[in-house]
Amino acid sequence: MLGRQPPPRQRYYRRGETLRIVSSGQMGRHKGIHLLVEAAALLRARGYENFHIDLYGKVTDPSVAPLPCKLGVEDLVRFKGLCPQEELVGRYARHEYDLFAFPTWKREPFGCAPLEAAAYGTVMLMSESCGIGEWFVDRVHCLKAARTAEAFAAALADVLDGRRDLKPIGRRASTVVWRDFHLDRLLPDIESALERAATRPDRAGGSADEAYRLALLAEKLAQAWVQENDCLAEAA
């Protein structure tokens, strides 16, 4: 994250309104996009109509694109195509979405997309076994579900019926993201890790845990640099 933390989000989903769900990234089965479409079909079959799911990103698996029509939810699930990162972040900042769905596979090492949404109060609903889930607590900073269409449909139904209040979850997650994932917070960790590595004998290697955490920090830093350079180029 870069810049200043925005004021706390004030408006969250209330029962009876339209639940606005978003997901972004590669549109493929490994990301669980088919599960979102199937979850939408399950919700419709159970009488829920007050929601929609917008999917941003390149379709990398041609088998997922026809699913909304095939399952009769083409009016509820919309493939929106590629969207520039700054535009998508702007949508989160304007609170155009209530929930970010992330039913990705367990091999997902982290996941910056839901983090960007959570920074502005969009609540994360993620598969319980993905990498980013290790950083957030279920029903405290996010919502977690088993990686099945049924489990995601049940989690969404809890929100639609008002059994799960998004406001405290969204606010806590936003605080954590700006506190723990801001560039000013990450740089000292990276510098410290590099200094420790530089003072070790050549034959001594770091632990797998240290390597994993350093890789995550490097990924976040690279993302931040790319975003900052894009913003500078646009301003020029």
What number is the average pLDDT over the span 199-216?
64
Ordered by where they begin, the domains of the chain are: 19-179 (3.40.50.2000), 182-235 (no CATH)
What number is the average pLDDT over the span 100-122?
90
Residue, of 65 and 109, whose pLDDT is higher: 65
Q: Report pLDDT digits (tens) over 29-63.
A: 999 999 999 999 999 999 999 999 999 999 999 99
Cα 231 from Cα 178, distance rounded (Å) = 19
* pLDDT score recorded for residue 125: 98
Q: What is the pTM of this model?
A: 0.80
What does the buried/exposed string (b/e) look like for 215-234 if buried means 16 or more CB atoms within 10 Å of the residue's CB? ebbeebeebbeebeeeeeee
How far from the centroid of its chain's Cα atoms is residue 207's Cα?
28
User: 178 is written with which tokens?
Assistant: 């700006």
Q: Report pLDDT digits (tens) over 55-96.
A: 999 999 999 999 999 999 999 999 999 999 999 999 999 999
189 pLDDT above the threshold of 90: no
221 pLDDT above the threshold of 70: no
What number is the average pLDDT over the span 104-126?
90
Can you tell me which residue has the tokens 């590629």?
82
Cα 169 from Cα 159, distance rounded (Å) = 12
* pLDDT score recorded for residue 61: 95
